[in-house]
Chains A and B, each alone.
Chain A
């Protein structure tokens, strides 16, 4: 080997691409998709009045492009009474609102960061594969490691 680079992905995508990454990632964390932006808004209001704990993660290095008034740009997933709402925040970045009863804010943050990691992993994987395809590179090996990393080996001959 001759050089090793470590890169932190920056999430820049239109909502459908982000939604695809979220859909692919949540299963790996044991969450299931709930959906419906309208229903979420109602539940959030209800949650505030019944003492639900909430923790918001705004992803600094993210940009959701081409938004049109936020319509439909929300995804909701749940696991064991904890709900995660992915949406586009006012600055155009990705926002994850974690909510649950009887759980601490730190626990919600840890779950949210785990989810965000998996979403970033899916985003990076698809970004890389799209780029490699455009360069006509051939994937000669792909595996999921025990640590849940995706390892890809590619060449251009």
Chain B
């Protein structure tokens, strides 16, 4: 099994923020989304530079907003 580490914050309104730690490449998104799916509706996601370490050589941030 791949090593996974998460930091999860639940604020006083119930909103949940999931951060992956040390999971590189697209696997980090899969791991976080699997957890997010059982909680509710994903509002936004942000990829940090670590995401690109094992995939595309790029250092920009990507913001994705989902409107429902």
Contact = CB atoms under 8 A, between A and B. Distances in A.
Interface of A: 1-10, 61, 116-121, 123-125, 127-128, 131, 137, 145, 147-157
A157 B43 CA distance: 29
Interface of B: 1, 3-25, 28-29, 32-33, 35-36, 38-48, 50-51, 53
Contacts, number: 144
Contact of B45 (A5, A131, A137, A151): A5
Contacts of B22: 2
A2 B48 contact: yes
Name the residue among B1, B22, B40, B47 with the largest chain A CB count within 10 angstroms.
B40
A1 B48 contact: yes
Given A9-B14, A149-B11, A1 B50 contact: yes
Contact of A153 (B6, B13, B28, B50): B6
A124 B24 CA distance: 26
Contacts of B11: 121, 147-149
A4 B39 contact: no
Contacts of B16: 6-9, 124, 128
B10 to A, nearest CB: 5
A155 B12 contact: no
A151 B16 CA distance: 10
Given A9-B16, A149-B9, 4 more contacts: A2-B48, A2-B51, A150-B9, A150-B10
B15 A6 contact: yes
B39 A7 contact: yes
Contact of B40 (A9, A145, A148): A9
Contacts of B1: 156
Contacts of A5: 17-18, 32-33, 36, 42, 44-46
B28 A3 contact: yes
B42 A6 contact: yes
Contacts of A127: 38-39
A151 B21 CA distance: 14
